[in-house]
């Protein structure tokens, strides 16, 4: 969840708590208490969700594997790279690689040095993202089918037929 959404949720929770305490002094007590509980629960959930690691749900793994299997694309070698020193990135990369292996692909997670410290999220890296190779198109379609957010990224040193998945810290 993006930080701006968390701020909005926390702000909304604070407004509800403030409304319960100040704006309705003549309201029945149970309404004020209910609004306070709702506001505090909203704030607690936003903080919990913000600190939680990314994970690929079981249904996302199944959709990803099915999408790769049903595309009539022969099993391919898809590298899943994660930033070294990032445990959350490694866990997420292993979950993606597992879904690739279920589809019959050779998906192994590998660590990569921390070359781009400000980069976040999941990226499909190709030589030219404006004209991705078929492998990149298949990966993008499968990730979209599984409702996994990703961005494209260019690496001019790559082969024109190559596409990698790079896992960076969550946004």
What would the two tokens of residue 139 be?
């990966």
Is residue 43's pLDDT more than 50? yes
Domain covering 58-167: architecture: 2-Layer Sandwich (3.30)
Q: How many CA atoms lie within 13 A of 71 on its CB side?
A: 24
Q: What is the pLDDT of residues 111-136, one digit of tens each?
A: 888 777 888 899 999 999 999 999 89
Q: What is the mean pLDDT of residues 19-40?
A: 62
pLDDT on residue 124: 95
What would the two tokens of residue 65 be?
């594997």
Task: Map out the domains of the chain as residue ranges.
Answer: 3-51, 58-167
Confidence of residue 23 (pLDDT cuts 50, 70, 90): low
């Amino acid at each position: 969840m993006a930080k701006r959404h968390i701020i909005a949720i926390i702000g909304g929770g604070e407004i509800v708590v403030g409304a319960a305490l100040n704006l309705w002094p003549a309201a029945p007590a149970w309404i004020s208490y209910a609004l306070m509980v709702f506001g505090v629960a909203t704030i607690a959930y936003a903080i919990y969700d913000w600190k939680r690691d990314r994970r690929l749900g079981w249904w996302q793994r199944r959709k990803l594997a099915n999408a790769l299997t049903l595309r009539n694309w022969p099993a391919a070698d898809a590298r899943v790279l994660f930033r070294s020193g990032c445990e959350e990135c490694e866990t997420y990369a292993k979950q993606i690689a597992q879904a690739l292996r279920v589809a019959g692909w050779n998906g192994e997670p590998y660590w990569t040095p921390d070359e781009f410290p400000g980069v976040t999220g999941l990226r499909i890296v190709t030589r030219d993202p404006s004209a991705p190779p078929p492998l990149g198109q298949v990966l993008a379609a499968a990730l979209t089918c599984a409702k996994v957010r990703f961005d494209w990224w260019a690496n001019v040193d790559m082969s024109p037929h190559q596409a990698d998945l790079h896992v960076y810290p969550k946004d």
